[in-house]
Amino acid sequence: MITFRPMVEADLCRVLENELRSYAYPWTHGNFVDCLRERKDCQVAELAGQIIGHGVLSFGAGEAHVLNICITPDQQGRGHGRVFLEHLLDRARCLGAEMVFLEVRPSNRAAVELYESVGFNAIGLRRNYYPAPLGHEDAQIMALDMRSDFGSGAL
Ligand SMILES: CC(C)(COP(=O)(O)OP(=O)(O)OC[C@H]1O[C@@H](n2cnc3c(N)ncnc32)[C@H](O)[C@@H]1OP(=O)(O)O)[C@@H](O)C(=O)NCCC(=O)NCCS
């Protein structure tokens, strides 16, 4: 069974390995260190004692932002990403978030479909936000209203 715990600096070697395997444009070691030092809600997902995923949430003024959610490629497609996202949303709810926001590449169909399936809606675009092989790709901004049925524990 997948379990979750706060990320610590000693996890970063394995976290970065998963990050590099999972993204064409991964976060750096420094990005994770900054998140830990800024006391963002950094979590790891473990299966049989191995870190198989990581997630980062920021919170402020009633809003949470999912900054990163990642399941290592050989564990993808087994339901872990959904359970991890639900875990992050539970944490956002406990912190008092009324809205949760995130950005995603429209080309990242697995992520977009996962977010839509738990009630996120597309609310706008950030033009040319992400680096891409042929220049840049827009970011789809998505929002989940935690006060609605989807956001209130009906996941
Ligand atoms: C996005 C990610 C976290 C999903 O995790 P996962 O463990 O593979 O997803 P799950 O197996 O829990 O699937 C949950 C839902 O995601 C969607 N999904 C997953 N894989 C999919 C695929 N290949 N194509 C389309 N939709 C897919 C489906 O809606 C699925 O629900 P279903 O199984 O009921 O159809 C994972 O693919 C990942 O880490 N990708 C690399 C990092 C990344 O892109 N993170 C998101 C940045 S915005």
- Ligand 1 centroid to Cα of residue 6, in Å, is 22
- Ligand 1 centroid to Cα of residue 99, in Å, is 22
Contacts for 106-113 with beta carbons within 8 Å, 24 or more apart?
A: 106/137, 106/138, 106/140, 107/137, 110/76, 110/81, 111/69, 112/140, 112/142
What pLDDT does 155 receive?
Answer: 47
What pLDDT does 63 receive?
Answer: 97
Query: Of all atoms in ligand 1, which is nearest to the CA of residue 75?
Result: 7
Note if 25 is an active site residue: no
CA 34 to chain centre: 16
| Residue minimizing CA distance to atom 40 of ligand 1 | 70
Q: Which two tokens stand for residue 70?
A: 């990642």
Beta partners for residue 45, in sequence order: 4, 53
- Ligand 1 centroid to Cα of residue 77, in Å, is 6
Q: Does the beta carbon of 109 lie inside 6 Å of ligand 1?
A: yes
Backbone angles phi, psi at 109, to 5 degrees: -60, -40
pLDDT in tens, 111-154: 999 999 999 999 999 999 999 998 999 999 999 999 986 555 54
Q: Are 115 and 104 in contact (CB under 8 A)?
A: yes
Query: Of all atoms in ligand 1, which is nearest to the CA of residue 22?
Result: 41
Q: Give the C-alpha separation, 155 to 85, whole Å.
A: 10
Note if 115 is an active site residue: yes
- Ligand 1 centroid to Cα of residue 109, in Å, is 8
What pLDDT does 13 receive?
Answer: 98
Please report, rounded to a whole number, the percentage of residues in the chain having pLDDT higher than 90. Answer: 94
What pLDDT does 148 receive?
Answer: 81
Q: Are 75 and 47 in contact (CB under 8 A)?
A: yes
Q: Which of 46, 63, 98, 103 is catalytic?
A: 103
Query: Of all atoms in ligand 1, which is nearest to the CA of residue 108?
Result: 44
Counting as low any pLDDT under 70, the low residues of the chain are 149-155
Quote the Cα angle for 77-133-124, to 5°: 70
What pLDDT does 151 receive?
Answer: 56
What pLDDT does 115 receive?
Answer: 98
